[in-house]
Each structure stands twice: as C-alpha cells, then as structure tokens.
Amino acid sequence: MTGKVLLFLNNDPQVEDGGEALFGGDARTYYGRWTYKFEQAQKHGAAGAIVIHTTESASYQFSVIGNTGSRQIWQRTYRLPFLAWIDSTLSESIASGMGTDLTGLFEMASQRDFRPLDTGFRLTTSIETAIERVEAHNVAGVVRGTDPELANEYIVFTAHHDHLGMNPELPGDDKVYNGALDNSLGVASIIAAADAFAATNPRRSVMFVSVTAEEGGLLGSGAFVDNPPVARSQIVANFNVDSPQVFGLTTDVAAIGIEMNTLGEMFRAVAEENDLVAKGDPNPNAGSFYRSDQVSFAKVGIPALYLQRGTDYVEQLGFDAAAFQQQHYHQVTDHIHSEWDLRGTERDMRLLFETALRVANADDMPRWVPGHEFEEEWKELYGRD
C-alpha cells in the first residue's frame, strides 16, 4: 500500500458466504468501525485513508464529525500523513468518476469476490497541524474483595469524564460542551455503585475507574488496559456506563453485549427477576459495543457489558426520546434538561449493581460465548480452553 491513499466504506460489507453472513449481518462488528479501517491503513503502510460517511452506514449524521479537523481535539495518533472522512455529496462525485454511484460502491463491496480498485483519482494536499502533548488522568478506586483467593481478581466499572471541551467559534454565549448525559451522569452512576459495593462484602475486588479522553478515541481506557494497576489477567470483567437512561422508567432495559458473554446472561436473569425485558443493542447497525470504553477491555479478551437505555416507557413522554437524544448528542446543549427523570437511571444501575455483585461472588469467572470474535483473546489472556 506504499504511496496509496485507501478509500473505505463505513460499516461491514453485507456479504454472504455459503448463505451465511460473513460478518455480523445487520449487527456491526469491530471490523466495520472507522478506527479499524485507519488501523489497517497504518498496518499496511498506506500514505493515508479516507472513510466515506453516510448517515445510514455510520448511524449518525455527518454533523457529529463536523469540523473536527479545524479545532483542537484529543485524538489517538495514527502514524499516517493523511486521514479524512468525506460526506455523501463528495462521495457521489468520486463514484461518478468511477462509472457508478454511491449505491453502486456498496453493491460492489457486498460481492464475495470483490478486490480493491484503483479509483483513478490522485490526491494532492497540504495540511498544517499543531501538536501539543497534554497529560490527563484516569481516576480509580477499589473496594477490596473478602475471599482469600478471589480478592486478587477484579471487576472494573468504567465511565468517561471527558467531553469535547469548548468551541469559541460557536455563535451565542454557550460555547462549552457540558457533556451532562455523555457522560457526567455515567461517572455519577459508577460513584453510586461504588458506595453500594462498599456496603457489601464481595468475594472479588471491584475497581471503579473514571477514564479520560474517551471522545478522543478511547484513550483513557486504552491506556488503562495497556498498563493496568494490577496484572491484566486479574481483571475478569468490565461494566461500562455511558449515557444512561434519563427519561424515566421503562418496562425494558438494554445492555449492549448481552448476547456476547456470560455477563449478559446474568444481566438478563436479574432483569427477568424484576419483571423487566432485557434487550441488546437497540440499533445493532450502529456498532455501539465498539464505540465506548468497554471495547478497550474486549479487544484483549476481557468480557464486557455496556449499560444502555430501554425504550418502552411506563409513562408517555410527550416527546420523541430518540430525536431528543440526537438533537443534543455532542452539542453544547447536552446539559441537564427539565425532561430528565432519573428514576430510570437509579433503577437500571440497581440492576447493573446486582449483576456485578453476582459476578463478584460467583465461583467461575465470566467468558465469551463460543465462537465470539474475542474468545481467542480470552483464552490466551487467562490460559483457558
């Protein structure tokens, strides 16, 4: 790939082999994430990489990316001279130059025998980048386990305390990205969970970590997993809380990764005992499991679960919860709103606490379901079959 700029489509290719989905079908895998695309471009020595963004393939609109490259941002460092996203308008022009359209590019990718094509385009660009090294901290605390042997194993709760800082170029007086839902509320939630565990006597130890720079590419959780305060093999599970329920009580509860490992099995059992319906990712195409701090743990084999919001509200809201979330996601308007009803946050965290307590007191450590994409890493990390 030397000297080449790679043009990627977002998401996994919808390709079948022998009648079965080669990846996750409608559910995105890690291989469909833009981070994986950039990692592969770097691995193969490319000069750069461009990801074609569509709202459907990314599951969020282009405004979420916005003018990211024009302002200061925390970001993981890819050793590539050029990285970019392009919107569907420019992508249509590129596709037209290749004798097709944007839909045609996705159709090409769905063919099992597809191989990379030369677009016929050449890229010339000049980029000025100011790089500043900044130190930021993860913050951790531990409730020690009581079992003489299992106390040396750790369950880790995570939530990220960073957001997007501020943007002085925004119109009006509000220029600060407060990040109230995403993710101050998550940090407050795991602090409450820490208080609850401090009042119990779990057999395993439980660590609570408020991580930094999630919005910059999971940097804080990645640094924690790369250099944990205990041996990595002593960490047996991760529960992540990011943007929990804020619109009141629901008859369902969601946990992303529920079908991936035995943490999900326990969570489902706890929900059913409380007469609740436990669901997985409400939008599997979004690949949410691969977009928050739990994936830093999963990639090295540690089973992880990501608490999410239910959607079947007990009381009629009077507004569209999904549209409300989309309106304020990664905007300066992510602050505490009158529409918030934290009864849902409390109830869902009680379920997650009970799940984690059962994991802490169980004889066996959690594991991935057979055949899962991270099962081999789990076997290597813990020396298990």
Residue 165: predicted pLDDT: 87
Give 171-213 pLDDT, tens digit per residue.
889 999 999 999 999 999 999 999 999 999 999 999 999 999 9
* CA-based nearest residue to 312, from 346, 285, 278: 278
Q: With 80 as the cut, is the pLDDT of residue 36 above it?
A: yes
3-state secondary structure of 378: helix
Long-range contacts from 183-186, C-beta under 8 angstroms, 24+ separation: 183/159, 183/214, 183/241, 183/242, 183/243, 185/243, 185/244, 185/246, 185/345, 186/159, 186/160, 186/241, 186/242, 186/243, 186/244
Nearest CA-CA partner of 355 in 155, 141, 139 = 155
- Return d(Cα 79, Cα 27) in angstroms, integer: 29
The pLDDT value recorded for residue 7 is 96
**Per residue in 300-339, pLDDT tens?**
999 999 999 999 999 999 999 999 998 999 899 999 999 9
If you compute the radius of gyration of the chain from its CA atoms, what whole number of angstroms results? 22
In the chain, which segments carry CATH 3.40.630.10?
139-382
Instruction: Please provide the average confidence, as pLDDT, over all residues in the chain.
Output: 92
pLDDT of residue 68: 64
| Matching CATH number, 139-382, of 3.40.50.1820, 3.50.50.60, 3.30.70.100, 3.40.630.10 | 3.40.630.10
- Residue 72 pLDDT more than 80? no
* pLDDT of 98 over the 90 cut: yes
Dist CA 5 CA 328 (whole Å): 34
Model confidence pLDDT, tens digit, residues 117-140: 999 999 998 888 778 888 999 999
pLDDT in tens, 335-353: 999 999 999 999 999 999 9
Of residues 367 and 169, more confidently modeled? 367
How many whole angstroms separate alpha carbon 217 and alpha carbon 292? 9
Tell me what the mean pLDDT of segment 234-248 comes to.
97
Residues above pLDDT 70, as percent of the chain: 97
For residue 26, is pLDDT > 70?
yes
Q: How far is CA 135 from CA 160, 212, 370, in A?
A: 16, 10, 40
